[in-house]
Amino acid sequence: MLSVIIIAKNEAANIQRCLESVKWADEIIVLDSGSTDQTVEIAKKYTDNIYLTDWQGYGVQKQRALSVATGDWVLNLDADESVSEGLKFAIQQAMDLNEADAYRIPIYMNFYGKPMRYSSSPKRHIRLFKREGARYSDDIVHEKVVLPPEAKVEKLKQSILHHSYQDLSHAIAKMNRYSSYTARSRRKEGKPPSFISILFSAGWMFFRCLILQRGFLDGKEGYILAVLNAEGSFYRGVKQLYPDRRISDLPDTKEIKKEENG
């Protein structure tokens, strides 16, 4: 049995595509943290398992979603991602063969309708895993699946498609939000970086995305993404030196509440 877990907030522009791509799953769980658009209403068309809660950071939210899942296997998706028919088949085959406890799945970015084959440098994260013994770290951002020590991890070739940015304004807003979360987490870990190291990191990010990852092969979109990634690196560093006052402390943890579908 497969449970798909999705955390969301104001994802009306994306969530139907995501849910449509996994409607074949045995169980779909949507954890909403205060949407003011049609996210919840759209989700109700696909599942009764909708939970409402406050926002505690990505790790806590995904652990909350995982805690109400009942499937033997869990597929973690973001609301702006989708699963192809090829990946659907690969997931079903992996569960049937049962040769591993978790699978890393490559993620390709889709930018203005164009798949980025190089710029997104398909990152492989653990997205499919056996539920028993698994949990999420409580990181505000860049959360990780924590598996039992003896867990066997393999890779799937088929990819998740990430429709990350609706447009450039959305890309900049998202970069700003993520950089604030990351900067706050890193400030808690220790001494902030020097300004010189921040400049170097931003330059290195641009070089890595455009040259080492061959982002230039994606055309002008590859250059745009390289610049955005470099900007993100720069802001993550600078916000450790000059904290973003708008990012306040996270609210007290509340119980999750199941939404009535009616």
Q: Give the 3-state secondary structure of residue 104.
A: strand
Same structural domain, 134 and 80: yes
Same structural domain, 25 and 139: yes
With respect to residue 249, please indicate whether it lies within any of the assigned structural domains. no
With respect to residue 10, please indicate whether it lies within any of the assigned structural domains. yes
- At residue 255, the pLDDT reads 58
Backbone angles phi, psi at 25, to 5 degrees: -70, 155
- At residue 20, the pLDDT reads 98
- At residue 179, the pLDDT reads 85
- At residue 260, the pLDDT reads 64
Same structural domain, 48 and 148: yes
Same structural domain, 68 and 188: no
Domain count, the chain: 2
Helix (H) or strand (E) holding 232: helix 220-241
Same structural domain, 22 and 105: yes
With respect to residue 38, please indicate whether it lies within any of the assigned structural domains. yes
- At residue 261, the pLDDT reads 55
Same structural domain, 73 and 96: yes
Cα–Cα distance, 29 to 68 (Å, whole number): 8
- At residue 250, the pLDDT reads 47
Which residue in this structure is represented by tokens 């802001």? Answer: 235
Same structural domain, 52 and 171: no
115-149 burial code (b ≥16 CB/10 A, e <16) = ebbbbbbbeeebbbbbbeebbbeebbbebebebee
- At residue 124, the pLDDT reads 83
Same structural domain, 111 and 8: yes
With respect to residue 200, please indicate whether it lies within any of the assigned structural domains. yes
With respect to residue 246, please indicate whether it lies within any of the assigned structural domains. no
> Which residue spans within 93-251 are E strands per DSSP?
102-111, 114-116, 123-130, 135-136, 145-146, 153-155, 160-165
Same structural domain, 148 and 120: yes
- At residue 71, the pLDDT reads 98
Backbone angles phi, psi at 110, to 5 degrees: -115, 120
Q: Which amino acid is at 117?
A: R
Same structural domain, 80 and 128: yes
pLDDT in tens, 70-85: 999 999 999 999 999 9
**Residue numbers of the chain with a pLDDT score lower than 70:** 120-123, 246-257, 259-262
pLDDT in tens, 90-127: 999 999 999 999 999 999 888 887 888 887 655 689 99
With respect to residue 248, please indicate whether it lies within any of the assigned structural domains. no
Same structural domain, 19 and 61: yes
With respect to residue 216, please indicate whether it lies within any of the assigned structural domains. yes
Q: Which amino acid is at 31?
A: L
Same structural domain, 130 and 187: no
Instruction: List the domain range (segments joined by +) for residue 131.
Output: 2-164
Structure tokens that stand for 122 in this block: 């398909």
Cα–Cα distance, 244 to 215 (Å, whole number): 31
With respect to residue 202, please indicate whether it lies within any of the assigned structural domains. yes
CA atoms within 13 A on the CB side of 72: 8
